[in-house]
Amino acid sequence: MRTLPQGWSAADRDRFYTTGQGSRLMPYTWFKALRRVDVDEPFGADRLQRYGYLRYDSPRSVEGLPMGFVVQGSRELGDLGMSCASCHTTAISYKKDNVQYDLLVDGAPANVDFQQFLVDLTAAVRLTFRDSTRFTVFAKTVLGADYSAAAEDTLRVSFGQWVTQFGDFMDRSLPRTPWGPGRLDAFGMIFNRVTGKDLGIVENYAVADAPVSYPFLWNAGRQDRTQWTGSVPNGHYIPALGRNGGEVLGVFGDLKPKLVTPILAELNRLFGWKIDITVDLSENSIDFEGLQALEELMGTLKPPPWPADVFGPLDATRVARGRDLFQANCASCHGENPSPQTAGTWHTPLLDVGTDPRTANNACREVKTGVFNGAGLLSKMKGDPMARLGPTARAADVLSDVALGVIIAGAIDAVKNGTVEQSGVWRGLTKDIRADAGTAGGQVASTRDPAAVEDKVKTLMTGIYKQPDTCPPAYEARVLHGVWATAPYLHNGSVPTLAELLTPPAQRKPTFAVGSREYDPKNVGYVTDKGAAANGTFVADPRTGNANTGHPFGTALPEDDRWSLIEYLKSI
C-alpha cells in the first residue's frame, strides 16, 4: 500500500500502528483460540478484514493481528488490545487505466464496522461457552501442553465470568439500528463503561445510540478544543492524556474505582497538595507511557496532500476562485483563526448549525454517582474548590473526575516507584510547563515544585469534558486541511461527499451505501451507489440520531462556484 507524505517516517508509522495504550479486550490466548460462528475458522484468521480492519506486518507487530491491534503484556499472559491506529487510519482505493491504487492515510477515519465486530465476538464467545464440544476444543488450544480435564474446568469458570460480563455490557450498550461502517458511539460506550460497569450501577447504562464519524487527527494537536462536542480543552499534553485515558476505558481498559484511601494522604504528603479526592483510581490498566508516545507522534502528523498523480491534477483557476469563495462563505468558522484560549492553537468554534442534536444531548446525560457522591468536582476545582458531585451528576462530570484521578494516580505511582524519568504523565507535564514558560530545553525546576504542579494540573484540566455546559446541539467547526480524505462528513457521518454537503439539506440523499473504499474524486468521498463493494447502508432518519439536516452553508451558490469550492477544498 502506498503512503502519502504526512511528515512521518516509516519508523514513526510503525510505532503508531504497534504501540499499546492499555486497552484490554480479552486474553490474547483466548482470542487466538476462538473460532467464528458462521464459518469454521479462527475468529481472527482473516485479520478482521471482514470488518474493514487493515493488514499490517512488521517486526514490532503481532503476527496475524490487524493494524492497531496489540498485545498488552506477554503473548502467553497478555491481553488483546486496540490502539489509535485501528480507528484512526484508513485505506482508499482507486482504479485508473486498469491500475489499482491503494493509498494508506494516517490519522484518517477508519472505514471499519466496530459494532459488527463486537456483535460477532459476543456471539462467538457465547457459543463457545454454551457448546461443550466447542469449549473442549477451545480449552485444548488455550491450554496446550497444560491441558487436563481439571484445567478445562478451571478455565470454564473464568471464561464464563468473562463472557457474562462482556455479553451483558454489549446487550445493554449496542443499539438496534447498527452504527454501520465508519461510525461509533464512543462517548455512549465510555459513559456505560465508567458509570455502569466500573461503578457497578445498572441504572446508569443507556443504549449507545448516537454514533459519530471517526474524526481526523492531523490537526487535532493544533485545535483549542477537541471531540465533536468540543468537550476537551486542547493544546497541552495533560488534557490530551485525560482525553485518551477516557478513550482507553472505552476500548476495554480496566478500572476499579475504590472509596478513599490512604492515597490521598500520601499525595498530600508527597507534594504538599491539598487535593480532596475521595476516590482511589490507582487500579487501572491505562498505559500513560504508550499514550504520551502516541500523542507526541500525533502532534507531528501532517494533512495528506491530494494525490494528483492518482486522482488527476487540480484546476488552478478553480482553486483560486474557490479560495475566494471559502474566504467569503466558510473562513469565519473554518479559518485558521488564532485561539483566544491557548497560544499556538486555532480557534475551534462550537456552533449549532442545525445538524442532528442527539450526540450533544447524550453528552449531557445524568447518572448516579455511587462512590463519587460527595467527591470534589475536579474539572471545576480551579474556579470553585468546593464544587462537589451529588448523588446524581452528569456522566461527563464523573468522567472528568476519572480522567483527572487516573492522571494523578499515574503521577504518584511514578514517584513511588522512582520512575518519574520514564513516566508518560511526568513527561507530558514537563512539556506543558516548558511550553508555557517558553523554554526550549533543560531541566524544569518547577516540575518538582509541589505548589506549581498542583496549580498547573488544575489549570490544565479545568473544564475537561465540561463543554458545552448548557448542552446546546453544538459541534466543532474545524480547520479543514486534508478533508478530501475524511468522508463521510459531519459529526454523524450523515453526508457521504463534499458535493452532497454543498447540496441543500432537503435534497441530500436519504440513503446511501457505506463501507466501500473506492474513491470518488469528483464528488470527493467514497463511492456510494449499490454497485460499490459496500457493507452497510446509511438511512437518514432523525429518530435514530441519523438526521442529515443542517449546515446549509454554500448550498445556495451557483453550481459552478460549488465545484470551485470543492476544488479548493481538495487543495488544502
DSSP reduced 3-state for 441: coil
> By C-beta, is 66 or 554 nearer to ligand HEC?
554
**Cα distances (angstroms) measured from residue 154 to each of 131, 133, 143, 149:** 16, 16, 11, 9
87 is a contact residue toward ligand HEC (CB under 6 A)? yes
Torsion angle of alpha carbons 285, 286, 287, 290, nearest 10°? Answer: 140
How near is the Cβ of 368 to ligand HEC at its closest, in Å? 23
Q: How far apart are the first and last CA of the chain?
A: 23
Return the residue of 80, 91, 163, 184 that touches ligand HEC, per CB under 6 A: 184
Q: How many CB atoms lie within 10 A of CB 11?
A: 10
> By C-beta, is 220 or 263 nearer to ligand HEC?
220
CB-facing half-sphere around the CA of 505: CA atoms within 13 A:
16
Instruction: Please give the grid coordinates belonging to residue 120.
Output: 460477532
User: Contact region for ligand HEC (CB under 6 A) — 257-265, 391-399, 484-492, 532-540?
Assistant: 484-492
212 is a contact residue toward ligand HEC (CB under 6 A)? yes
- How many residues make contact with ligand HEC (CB under 6 A)? 49
> By C-beta, is 29 or 223 nearer to ligand HEC?
223
389 is a contact residue toward ligand HEC (CB under 6 A)? no
Return the residue of 51, 94, 191, 228 that touches ligand HEC, per CB under 6 A: 228
Residue 51 near residue 117, CB atoms below 8 Å? yes
489 is a contact residue toward ligand HEC (CB under 6 A)? yes
Distance CA 435, CA 452 (A): 15
Q: Which amino acid is at 383?
A: G
554 is a contact residue toward ligand HEC (CB under 6 A)? yes
54 is a contact residue toward ligand HEC (CB under 6 A)? no
Distance CA 542, CA 524 (A): 25
Helix (H) or strand (E) holding 366: strand 366-368
> By C-beta, is 44 or 376 nearer to ligand HEC?
44
- By CB under 6 A, the residues from 278 to 307 that bind ligand HEC are 291, 294-295, 298
> By C-beta, is 173 or 278 nearer to ligand HEC?
173
217 is a contact residue toward ligand HEC (CB under 6 A)? yes
- By CB under 6 A, the residues from 354 to 373 that bind ligand HEC are 355
Residue 43 near residue 121, CB atoms below 8 Å? yes
How near is the Cβ of 429 to ligand HEC at its closest, in Å? 18
> By C-beta, is 491 or 517 nearer to ligand HEC?
491
Return the residue of 58, 317, 332, 422 that touches ligand HEC, per CB under 6 A: 332
User: Contact region for ligand HEC (CB under 6 A) — 48-56, 133-141, 473-481, 508-516?
Assistant: 473-481
Instruction: Please give the grid coordinates belonging to residue 486.
Output: 475524511
Please spell the DSSP secondary structure of 472-527, one letter per residue. -S-EE----TTGGGS-SBTTTT-B-BHHHHTS-GGGS-SEEEE---BEETTTTEE-
- By CB under 6 A, the residues from 236 to 255 that bind ligand HEC are 244, 247, 251
Q: How many CB atoms lie within 10 A of CB 181?
A: 27
> By C-beta, is 85 or 279 nearer to ligand HEC?
85
Return the residue of 180, 215, 257, 424 that touches ligand HEC, per CB under 6 A: 215
**Cα distances (angstroms) measured from residue 127 to each of 155, 229, 252, 386, 486:** 15, 39, 21, 51, 37
Q: Which amino acid is at 493?
A: G
Contact positions toward ligand HEC, by CB under 6 A?
21, 82-84, 86-88, 184, 186-187, 212-215, 217, 220, 223, 226-228, 244, 247, 251, 291, 294-295, 298, 329-330, 332-334, 351, 353, 355, 475-477, 480, 483, 486, 489-491, 501, 551, 553-554, 565
